[in-house]
Structure 1
Amino acid sequence: MLPIDNTQTQHDGTEYLAIKNTRLCRLLTRLALRTTARCYKADGFVRPISQNLIVKTGPWAHLTEAATMLFISTNTTLPVPRVHCSFVHNNRAYIVMERIQGDELAKKWTTLSEIDRKTVLAQLRCMFKELRSLTPPDMKVESCVGGSLYDSRIPHARPRFGPFQIIQDFHRWLRDWFRLEDHPDRKGDKDYEDIEAMIAKQDGPWPPPVFTHGDLNPLNILLCRTQIVGIIDWEFAGWYPFYWEYTAAWYGNRTRQWWQGLLDSFLDAQTEELKMEMLRQKWWGDL
């Protein structure tokens, strides 16, 4: 049975998240998308409308991302795009934000010297240490505003999921609420003992969640020479278990093994949790 698809209702009750939601802002944004945007190349759901402004819109764009960037800029020193306005029109979200001038780390990495690479990685470690130092409001797995989350890599999120009252409920949802006691005939099957150990760990005690970007890849890190000037694409962000940043980055970069190899340079390695996630992905993952 497929989970309920809430694409059409994902914006219900989110009006309070809008930023500078004036009639003039809505009009100028939609006008720019029909005129000045034609002068620039679109990048997925992101449309430049000037040298300094871009608009993010599309079926999965959500006001939560704009609220997240405001939350990060207010509570940390991480360089994130400044949000000029955000709103929903005809059941579609629009986020008008700063177009940070910088080069994607993915494109610059091979041109950097070893010293410059260490400089960039040291900046990342400081930034994500600061992000993880934010105090969670409770034990919930949720967005920065206490609402739903988004991760296109989770197959049964249609398109948003949560929030979850406790981390254990998040884990149960990830494995489709599977319980070994409902399948006594499977004892002795391949991976049975490993799944049993995974469930014991998932359902066991967990420390409070930490704030997580959730899509940490070198395309989302912008450089000016060796200075990180932007961390972008916060649509996957939220309060998650402490290991999620590391394992999400590892799985999200399976085609960039060079980046996987660098994760331990700026994130705390989560070896046991990665093994747990590898098993979950095998049975309940996106492949």
Structure 2
Amino acid sequence: MPSPKRAPRRFFVLVTLRLLSPFLPRHGPVLMLSKTFCIKLGTLKQPAEAATMQFVAKHTSISIPRVYCAFERKGCKYMLMERMQGHILRNGWLERSAESKEKILAQIKTMTDQMRRILCGSLFDSYEGGNEKAPEANRLVEWHNRYCGKPVFTHGDLNTMNIMVQGDDVYWEYTSAWHVNPYDEFWREDVDKFLEPHLEELDMERVRRRFFGDF
């Protein structure tokens, strides 16, 4: 298998998928090329996800898989990235000792705290310049500002299937983490151990989901 460092990366991805896709192990949308490389593909958000991963890697010390390239071609999106060793946290969580769980949850808390400390930029760019042409939008923002704190950077889907561990080391928010995957009901018991509880917001999230669905 040629190294992506020696060939144009997009070409490498497309040729590899054409020739080897039927023979590669796959976990959901991710094809495992080797012990060090994998390709994530689909139709949703790979380029945006890649940019977010690179942003987090630049501004924190969180272990983020290295992204080699991300692009779209004919309606399909591709991301060539580093394959992290380990397994998803969900596997064996209930069998872990209290000491092991405490160590892992402490690391997750440190990671979420780092993301929340990233300085937040403006919600508007210099081209748009704000909501002067839509005063009703300003009213909506002001209403939310009475109840919401300052926006922070966080992980919107922090469930045990999105956290990689090797031993007791974590590799890779409150309402999104608490509203867990249907197979992750046990995770609710531990969310408060690494995220500050926001019970009123959680209640509002329940209401939102009742009327508007999960997303």
- TM over 0.5: same fold? yes
Write the distance in 2 (CA, Å) between the matches of 1:269 and 1:262: 11
Once the 2 structures are TM-superposed, how far is the Cα of residue 212 of structure 1 from its aligned partner?
1.6
Q: Do the aligned residues in 1 keep the contact of 2:90 with 2:184 (CA within 8 Å)?
A: no
Provide the residue aligned with 1:67 in structure 2. 51
Which one-letter code corresponds to 2:165 in the other structure?
L
Residues 113 and 276 (structure 1 numbering): CA distance in 2 closer, same or farther, change over 3 Å?
same
Q: Do the aligned residues in 2 keep the contact of 1:103 with 1:222 (CA within 8 Å)?
A: yes
Confirm or deny that 1:228 pairs with 2:212.
no
Once the 2 structures are TM-superposed, how far is the Cα of residue 88 of structure 1 from its aligned partner?
1.8
Write the distance in 2 (CA, Å) between the matches of 1:227 and 1:62: 26
Once the 2 structures are TM-superposed, how far is the Cα of residue 33 of structure 1 from its aligned partner?
1.2
State, as a whole percentage, how many aligned pairs show the same letter: 32
Q: CA RMSD in A?
A: 2.8
Counterparts of residues 81-160 of structure 1 (less than 5 Å): 81-138=65-122, 140=123
Counterparts of residues 1-287 of structure 1 (less than 5 Å): 24-138=8-122, 140=123, 202=144, 204-230=146-172, 245-286=173-214
Q: Which has the higher contact order (CA 8 A, sep 6+)?
A: 1
Residue by residue, what CA displacement relative to the aligned partner does 1:12-58 show, whole Å, maximum 9, x if unpaired? Answer: xxxxxxxx9xx822211111112334333212221112221111111
SS in 1 for 2:85: coil
Q: Do the aligned residues in 2 keep the contact of 1:254 with 1:260 (CA within 8 Å)?
A: no
Q: Do the aligned residues in 2 keep the contact of 1:56 with 1:96 (CA within 8 Å)?
A: yes
For structure 1, the 5+ residue unaligned runs are 1-19, 147-163, 173-199, 231-244
Which one-letter code corresponds to 2:146 in the other structure?
G
TM-score by structure 1 length?
0.63
Q: Which runs of 4+ in 1 moved over 6 A?
A: none
For structure 2, the 5+ residue unaligned runs are none
Once the 2 structures are TM-superposed, how far is the Cα of residue 270 of structure 1 from its aligned partner?
0.8
Q: Do the aligned residues in 2 keep the contact of 1:37 with 1:49 (CA within 8 Å)?
A: no
Provide the residue aligned with 1:11 in structure 2. none
Which one-letter code corresponds to 1:217 in the other structure?
N
Which one-letter code corresponds to 1:48 in the other structure?
M
Residue by residue, what CA displacement relative to the aligned partner does 1:45-87 show, whole Å, maximum 9, x if unpaired? Answer: 2111222111111111331111111101111011111001112
